[in-house]
Amino acid sequence: MTKSLRRRRAWPSLPVLLLFAYMAVFMLFIILPIGAVVAVSFSTSSFVVFPIPGLTWRWYEHMVEYRPFMTSLATSLELALASAFLGAVLGVPAALALTRSRGALVGPIVNLLLAPISVPAIVLGFALLYFLAGLSLGLSFTALLIAHTVAAIPYIVRTVLATYRGLPAQLEECASILGASRWQILRHVTLPLVRPGIFAGGLFAVLTSLDNLPLSYFFGSATTNTLPVVMLSYMENQFDPSIAAISTVQMLIAIGALLVLDRIYGIERLTAV
């Protein structure tokens, strides 16, 4: 009896094995396409083909030499950081006010601030194009920045709401009892406590902006094109592995940012609402 029980405990049950097999297939389904893109970026072939015939760095050299790639990458980084900053300036006060507010309008206002996530990006871009054209902004970096800021606000509001809701209101009440003013409470108590949520939301906003094609496609111009728009335009005319090289660089930026976020604050506890 004892030996048979030990054997049963040593071997996982069939449902557990099936679950692990499913997880393994699922992970391969996600990782293999990404790995193929990275591998193609080192291909010696003059067009995208897999498996690759050999290894070379020349497509990364071509990526650096191709001026539109580097110019649009700089524009995308500038736009992502600026839109995340403006999104924080607008979204953090709204999230703080809504978290401690009580009333029938709080829920609809929160849903309104989160609406740009649920609305298709192409619909949002089309609507903003008409609205900003009516303000005579046209195709400019300012219009592009406004559009990306609108898309950034929901991520910041979401993470700040999640962080602030988990904090006891007694902390601010204690500061008030000790004689702190509202500005001192905000500066020395509230903002330091919700800083992880602000950082997480801002980082998600940056990553979303770097990868946003529909909004950038509507508002980009010859001088303000973002990297996704330039990549799309490049693939319409030629399809060499340099497009895989710039895609790999873009993925490395995103993965590095997420690793920094997880290392500093932890992604799981910041994204739960």
Residue range 222-265, pLDDT digits in tens? 778 888 888 888 888 888 888 888 888 888 888 887 787 777 76
The answer to whether residues 19 and 143 belong to one domain is no
| Closest by Cα among 19, 75, 46 to 240 | 46
Domain shared by 165 and 203, yes or no: yes
Handedness of CA 83, 88, 93, 97 (dihedral sign): positive
Tokens of 249: 């660089």
- In this prediction, residue 269 carries a pLDDT of 56
**For residue 34, what are the domain limits?**
2-40
Judgement on whether residues 12 and 101 belong to the same structural domain of the protein: no
Question: Which two structure tokens, joined as six digits, stand for 175?
Answer: 């500061």
> Which tokens go with 62?
């071509």
φ, ψ at 55 (rounded to 5°): -115, 140
The answer to whether the CB of 201 falls within 8 A of the CB of 160 is yes
Write down the mean pLDDT value for the chain. 81
**Are both 192 and 81 inside the same structural domain?**
yes
Of the ranges 107-111, 161-165, 265-269, which is most confident? 161-165
- For 154, the token pair is 């929901």
pLDDT-derived band at 83, boundaries 50, 70, 90: very high
Give per-residue pLDDT as tens, 198-225: 888 888 889 888 888 888 888 877 778 8
